[in-house]
Amino acid sequence: MTARGTGQDAIRSPAASLFVVGFLSMLGQVVLLRELAVASFGVELIYLLALGLWLAAGAAGAALGGRGAAAPPRPAAVFLALAVSIPMEIAFLRGARLLFGGVTGAYLPLGEQVATAALGTVPAGVILGLLFRRAAGWMIADGGTLAAAYAWECLGGALGSVAATLSLHWGIPNLALGLGCGLVGAAAASTGSAVRRFIPLLAALLAVFLASGPLDRWMTSWNHADLSVTTDTPYGRVTVTRTGKQLVVFENDALGYESEGTEAEEFVHLAALQAPVGSRVLALGGGVAGIAAEIRRHGPSGVDYVEANRRMYEALLPLLPEETRRALGNAPLRVIFADPRSFLSRSTTPYDLILVASPEPTSGQSNRLYTVEFFRQCAARLAPSGVVALRLPSAENFWTPQLLRRNGSVHSALLSVFPEVLVVPGSVDTLFASRARLERDPGVLGARLKARGISGRLVTPEYLRYLLTNDRVGQIAGLLSRADTTPNTDARPVCYQLTALLWLGKFIPGAGDAGPPDGRILPVLLALVAVALLIARFRVAWRRAALVAVAGFGGMVAEAVILLRFQAESGSLYQDIGILLTCFMFGLAAGAFALDRAATARPRVERWWGAALLLGLALFSCGLAAVAEAGGAFFRLGPSALALGIAGALVAGIFGFASRQGVDDRQSVVSRLYAADLLGGCLGSILAGLLLIPLFGVVATAAGMAVLAIAALALL
């Protein structure tokens, strides 16, 4: 999910100033959120909180601009503050754990994590909000409109989205991108007669930009003393350290793999013993983490290793242990760079064993490999007696209600596709599913292990007997069969929201113990919103602000629904996601320009314009709800891009209508309406990602937005 940000400038025209501010807002947002993802070990809850903070900070900055009608002063100093702020916030985010006295590899206390998110995003967000207020005031003072100002800022945001996407495609490190934002901000401050005063700053930023490679390594070493490699990839930052012979791989600073561990051995041997010698194996991820080498020990006839993150693979390959490199570079294994679900949809090969080595379902990206739809794809590629295997973090002895519901949702999803499911419990549960009978006798499995001549460091016949005959096997099977949960699906991804609550339970006792949500929550929320809209009717200013907030909220929720369903269908293809976000920004710009042109042609802004736009948003939301459950071709690149463009145009049209209808002093509404837009987007982003979609699904969420749009007619 993304957000729109914010400014005026010392450039020669307000339109150019607004374009630059939109560009820096989108690009700066991406840069800082990427850094925060690393600082918070990739925890989505903190990431979404920061996105909300960014939008709220933009709203606060716009409010700081005041209500004066005169054209504000040329804000060279504000651009200068932005030029310094973004690089400084990057440095703070990279050093936050040290500054707060954190223990290496451990989470900071929750309050300090929230403080890190706030200090790492709010300053730049406030500056950009202030810049938008000043630039919009400048445009209005020159005879323009707020809708036109909004459109120019959105056009800049579209270019910023493209730049953020291409930066990863071109291999530009995130630090260099952030320093580039500083250079653009300094250049905006130094145009015209002020250029001589800012030559030292420009020179300093340019020098640091040119030295960004060594600087990147040095700053990364603050948290990784034995740094070997660090690189930014489309899926996060990969950092590798080496101590003696031990290689440790971090993804967004969370431990992903270490070469001396036994996780790959345990996973592969438990799974491969369910399949015969000479099996055809599909490994979805994990090859660089030792899975490839362990599979070879079972004598497969062929192994297809699908890796989504090519840049990570290429960075790690020269550093991997010799046995792993040999396994990856020789038959019968072949490496395929593709999205796992896309590969499954086009493959025709029947596999005897599918190993799902996906990260924990903490986000929409990883959750899509734990859903009913994904398991159906696996089933379609399995031989008649084939087996699919996966792992889920768990607990040895005590399961909280949220852990039971999270793991139960995946277990239920497997059972909805496969008649036979086996769970081997531990600190990490190993789950097997098949259409045929799964072997549960440790004596049979131990004999297979000996017959294949495999002598493991951990997995032995005695270890297999311990795993499969201890009392936890029956206890966990009973718990899962009685779990009060629903299957994890693409349309209702409950799994990653429950994972976020499990993480929150580490800091807030009881957060991981809450039961399933009451089905009446959504109607209650809608009723509360309806009451708020009725209260807003008492004052004209409140009506305008509430109308814009509804539009901002609906736009962000629609964006979240479309991106989540697109991701489930097509994977996390960053170049496609960039195109989609750009289409949303272009839709915003087009809607604002269209409303402005229509209002210029007919100066009397009629109330029915607003009614038509709100009804359009309601119909759009109804259509989105109708196709959200089915997915498929509705959420391929073309239709998704078109839908996002339409959503953006409707949101911007409502914003433009509110900025003109019954307004005599256009300067007086700039701060209030822009702040309302950002605050609505803030609520939409957080509620859609953490509450509405995970708990109620995309269909109910989209339908709820249709009801909200109709209720907003009361504001006209």
For the segment 329-364, what is each residue's pLDDT rounded down to a tens digit? 888 999 999 999 989 999 999 999 999 998 888 877
Q: Helix/strand/coil (H, E, C) string of 97-128?
A: HHHCCCCCCCCCCHHHHHHHHHHHHHHHHHHH
Give 638 or 85, the one with higher predicted confidence. 85
Residue 662, Cβ density class (10 Å: 0-12 exposed, 13-18 middle, ≥19 buried): exposed
pTM: 0.86
Nearest to 238 by CA among 197, 292, 288: 288
- State in words which class domain 258-503 has: alpha beta
Percent of the chain with pLDDT over 90: 42
Q: Which two tokens mark 488?
A: 């994890």
DSSP labels, 199-239: HHHHHHHHHHHHTHHHHHHHHHTTT-TTEEEEEEETTEEEE
Q: How far apart are the first and last CA of the chain?
A: 30
Average pLDDT for 577-582: 75
* Tens-place pLDDT, residues 374-383: 999 999 999 9
pLDDT at 572 over 60: no
- CB-based contacts of 253, cutoff 8 Å, min separation 6: 38, 39, 41, 42, 223, 237, 239
Q: What are phi and psi of 706, to 5 degrees?
A: -65, -45
Residues 442-490: pLDDT tens digits?
A: 999 999 999 999 988 899 999 999 999 988 888 888 888 888 788 999 8
pLDDT digits (tens, 9 = 90+) for 236-286: 899 999 988 889 999 999 888 888 889 999 999 999 999 999 999 999 999
* Beta carbons of 533 and 715 less than 8 angstroms apart: yes
Asked if the domains at 258-503 and 517-716 fall in one CATH topology, the answer is no
CA distance 564 to 632: 13
**pLDDT, tens digit (0-9, with 9 covering 90-100), for 399-448:** 888 888 899 999 999 999 999 999 999 889 999 999 999 999 999 999 99
The tokens 């929550």 sit on which residue? 521
517-716 folds as Growth Hormone; Chain: A; (1.20.1250)
pLDDT at 41 over 60: yes
Calpha distance 631→477 (Å, rounded): 32
Q: Is residue 508 classed as helix, strand or coil in its secondary structure? A: coil
Residue with tokens 């967000």: 125
Q: Which two tokens stand for residue 197?
A: 């005063």
Instruction: Give 71's pLDDT tier (boundaries 50, 70, 90).
Output: very low
Q: Residue 307 belongs to what H/E stretch? A: strand 302-307
List Cα–Cα distances, 650 to 216, 331, 544, 549, 585, in angstroms.
42, 54, 16, 13, 12
The token pair that represents 328 in the structure block: 């990856």
Hunting for tokens 């919009």 — which residue is that? 136
Domain range list for the chain: 1-220, 258-503, 517-716
SS3 383: strand
